[in-house]
Structure 1
Amino acid sequence: MAGRVADKAVFDAALEVIAEQGYERATTRAIADAAGINEATLFRRFTSKQNLLRQAVRGNFAGFALDLDAPGDDVAADLLTIVNYYSRLYETRGGVVLTLMREAKFSKEVAAVLAEPESLLEKVDEVILHHQRRGALVVEPPRHTFFALVGPLMMRAIARRVDQRATQAPADPETVVRRFLRGHRPE
């Protein structure tokens, strides 16, 4: 008899199926098949597709350390922490991130699951505000700054989703931060 399939393997399967098919079209049967378990086991362990997604997202975010509790005086170092995090996220989970962002507008279930990662963005906002108050970044809405910072990373993930032949190497986080700071430091 085969051993129990680890939660991480089920989460990986769920995120891959959802990235490919979207949340609404991703069936629990397809997720169970991809994970190598039966559908009844999936429901016994996770109770619902939404709960499975919630736990998969939590587990995925737990695997990416983002220490933003104490922003320092080095704006480049703090931005590099953010860019490193989102670079790893988009390189490994870009497909599902983009799918869930798109579907959250239309699905209350997906929107509810994405409320938790929103708290991470609030921490990023605080780091940006900290450096704006210090005069190290131009003053603008923090999310504008955030999207300008991670936009190149996100666009690479979109390009790979649109063109499976895209072979670009991952972005160099230090280069991303250096270029970003050229246009976002006060004059």
Structure 2
Amino acid sequence: MNVGNGKLNTSDKILLVAIDLMAEKGFKTVTTKEIATAAGISEMTLYRHFGSKKNLLEQGIDRFHYTWEMQKLFKEKLVWDLQTDLLLISKTYHEVMSRNGKMFLITLKERHNLPGIQKKMKNYPQQLKEMLTDYFTRMQVRGKMIPTNPETQAMSFIWMNYGAFMTNLIADEPFTDVSMEEFMTTSVALFARGLTP
């Protein structure tokens, strides 16, 4: 996992170390002392930045999830061509989700033990669904997409990408010889073709 610009502040460094250790040992098993030691800081510094191990995990989820990158994409990078836009959305989604795979696995494991995490896990896909629904609605208004239920198409697109991500994330060995790049290009082309007037 990385944070993009290569420069880590103390909080990001703690978060990255914590995510690695939580993924390796489990949230319940890893201690704040182990996290602090691995991050090269005192346990007191960890508590000053995050207050608790639970808060550390929750801030990690907020810091490294895809929502802010997707919001920027939807605000600044759309060209209003269905296939081009959907391919960019798909590639961005997979890039961020793959980069943050460890965080995603931790949240899946801990969602029932920590109710705040379960709520966060629902918020991110909900926000992506809203962005995609709005995009599909606007594409219909522009006459660049067939009349259909925009929310249904948003969910179909999310499930297509989420399914591919999960298959790769949890597979012990490659599920297929088809590369992720080929999957995205082909599936987005088919998806766009089906929605283009």
Quickly say closer, same or farther: Cα 1:68–1:131, change in 2 above 3 A.
same
Q: Percent identity?
A: 22
Equivalent residues in 2 for 1:83-162 (5 A)? Answer: 83-114=90-121, 117-118=124-125, 120-121=127-128, 122-131=130-139, 134-135=144-145, 139=149, 140=152, 142-159=154-171, 162=172
Residue 68 of structure 1, CA deviation: 1.1
Quickly say closer, same or farther: Cα 1:141–1:76, change in 2 above 3 A.
closer
Quickly say closer, same or farther: Cα 1:60–1:114, change in 2 above 3 A.
same
TM-score, scaled to structure 1? 0.72
Residue 143 of structure 1, CA deviation: 2.1
Structure 1 spans left out of the alignment, 5+ residues? none
Question: Which residue identity is paired with 1:110?
Answer: I
CA offsets 1:4-62 (integer angstroms, 9 cap, x no match)? x7222111112212222333333323322332223222112211123222322333248
Question: Which residue identity is paired with 1:154?
Answer: M
Of residues 9-18 and 21-30 in structure 1, the stretch that sits farther from structure 2 once superposed is 21-30
Aligned residues: 179
- The counterpart of 2:187, out of the listed 179, 183, 187, is 179
Of residues 51-60 and 135-144 in structure 1, the stretch that sits farther from structure 2 once superposed is 135-144
Quickly say closer, same or farther: Cα 1:108–1:155, change in 2 above 3 A.
same
CA RMSD of aligned residues (A): 3.6
Quickly say closer, same or farther: Cα 1:84–1:183, change in 2 above 3 A.
closer
Q: Distance in 2 between matches of 1:120 and 1:94?
A: 19
Residue 128 of structure 1, CA deviation: 4.4
Equivalent position SS for 2:75: coil
Quickly say closer, same or farther: Cα 1:116–1:152, change in 2 above 3 A.
closer
Q: Distance in 1 between matches of 2:160 and 2:15?
A: 30
Residue 84 of structure 1, CA deviation: 2.0
Q: Distance in 2 between matches of 1:25 and 1:99?
A: 12
Quickly say closer, same or farther: Cα 1:136–1:52, change in 2 above 3 A.
farther
Question: Which residue identity is paired with 1:179?
Answer: S
Residue 114 of structure 1, CA deviation: 3.4
CA offsets 1:91-128 (integer angstroms, 9 cap, x no match)? 22112213313432442132244355345423244334
Of residues 113-122 and 29-38 in structure 1, the stretch that sits farther from structure 2 once superposed is 113-122
8 A contact 2:90–2:161 mirrored in 1: yes
Q: Distance in 1 between matches of 2:179 and 2:59?
A: 27
Q: Distance in 2 between matches of 1:170 and 1:11?
A: 30
Q: Distance in 2 between matches of 1:119 and 1:34?
A: 35
